[in-house]
Amino acid sequence: MPSIFDHPNIRVMTYNLKNGGDLPHWEQRKQALVETIRSQQPTILGTQEGYEYQLAYLRDELEHYDMFGEGRDPAWGGEYAAIFVDRRCCEVAATGTFWLSPTPEVPGSRMPNEDLPRIATWARMTVNGTPLLHINTHLTYVVEGIPAQMAVLVDQITPLIDPAIETIIGGDFNIGRHREAMQKLNTLGFTDVWSFAADIEGPVITTPEWDTWDETVVHPEEYRIDWICVRPADGDALPNVTVETVQTHLHQPVPSDHFPVVVSAHE
């Protein structure tokens, strides 16, 4: 089975938008964020933290994209783990959202002792005719709570995976790839792109906060918490790709407190 990256110009992006409830205000940075996305021309974009009005702005500003997902709080929407797809080459057949809790099917549910619900959204689609399952998620920032949420994530996506097609999972996992919880994805056949890409570009870290950022400063890889992982169809090799952490903090206003990560075919 071919990979979606066998097609030219296919680009998969994950981006924590930073919710609009915190400073610096969304109005100050929203145009910079849209320009960042436009410059990358993603075929598939998974976003984290966006509120409905932020996502509505993206839908208005970004041409030829459809959005899928729902807010984590049924009372008022809350943050989304939304998936945007370029409708010119993507055809979505089915989507869903589940909660990283003991009752994943219950909207708004959360783990005991967790202050907020956490979710994952999935979309089954074809990309230029090639089938794909794409999953987007955002785990808790409370490190002690990540293993339980990861266990639910693994349990929920296992029956979604079709071993005959490629699956990609991306998002803000709030931990480095060497943590035990992150490695649970390996048991399902996922490999983070950072570890096998033919070419790696941009900063190591993905959480530069809000200041302009000096690339000469060395930061530990543990601060890389935004990941895209690939599970090839059974019997297929990992795709030949480039991964880039996009440096967005050269001048103010910076669009988010995260760098986006983009995976594309290696040329």
- What residue ranges do the domains of the chain occupy? 4-265
Residues 120-136 have a mean pLDDT of 98
Average pLDDT over every residue of 188-211: 92
Mean of the per-residue pLDDT values of the chain: 93
- Half-sphere exposure of residue 244: CA atoms within 13 angstroms, side-chain side: 14
Look at residue 1 and tell me whether its pLDDT is greater than 90.
no
- Look at residue 243 and tell me whether its pLDDT is greater than 70: yes
Encoded tokens for 244: 């880039």
State the average pLDDT over residues 87-114.
97
Q: Domain 4-265 adopts which CATH fold?
A: Deoxyribonuclease I; Chain A (3.60.10)
Quote the pLDDT of residue 238: 97
Separation of alpha carbons 37 and 33, rounded Å: 6
* 186-199 pLDDT per residue, tens: 999 999 999 999 99
pLDDT class for 24, splitting at 50, 70, 90? confident
Q: What is the model's pTM? A: 0.95
- Tens of pLDDT, residue by residue over 245-262, are 999 998 889 999 999 999
Average pLDDT over residues 205-220: 75
Strands annotated E in the chain? 11-16, 44-48, 65-68, 71-73, 77-80, 83-86, 90-99, 119-127, 130-138, 166-172, 191-192, 199-201, 226-231, 241-245, 261-265
